C-alpha cells in the first residue's frame, strides 16, 4: 500500500470513522461489512487531495484492520 499524507478530517468525521470501524468488526455478514466500508470510502473521498491516487475499498478495509490492531 502506498504511503499517503494523513487526511485532515473534522473531529466528527474522525469519530464516525472510529464508530464505523467498530461496526465493521461487529458485523458478521460480509455484504453488510462491505456496505460499511463503502460508506466510509464515500465520506473520506470528500477529504482527499485531488492530486493523490483515489482511495479504494481495500484501502478502507486496511485502515479498519490497522485501527483494530491499535486498540
Give the model's confidence band at 3: pLDDT under 50 very low, under 70 low, under 90 confident, else very high: low
- Residue identified by cell 455478514 is 29
- The helix or strand, by DSSP H or E, that contains position 62, with its residue range, turns out to be helix 57-70
Is the pLDDT at 1 greater than 80, yes or no? no
Tally the C-alpha atoms within 13 A of residue 71's C-alpha that lie toward its C-beta: 10
- Cα distances from 49 to residues 5, 24, 41, in angstroms, run 9, 25, 14
Is the pLDDT at 71 greater than 90, yes or no? no
Per-residue pLDDT tens digits for 13-49:
999 999 999 999 999 999 999 999 999 999 999 988 8
Amino acid at each position: 500500500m502506498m504511503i499517503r499524507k494523513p487526511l485532515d478530517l473534522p473531529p466528527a468525521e474522525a469519530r464516525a470513522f472510529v464508530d464505523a470501524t467498530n461496526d465493521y468488526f461487529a458485523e458478521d455478514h460480509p455484504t453488510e461489512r462491505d456496505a460499511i466500508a463503502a460508506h466510509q470510502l464515500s465520506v473520506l473521498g470528500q477529504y482527499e487531495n485531488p492530486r493523490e491516487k483515489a482511495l479504494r475499498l481495500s484501502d478502507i478495509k486496511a485502515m479498519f484492520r490497522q485501527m483494530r490492531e491499535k486498540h
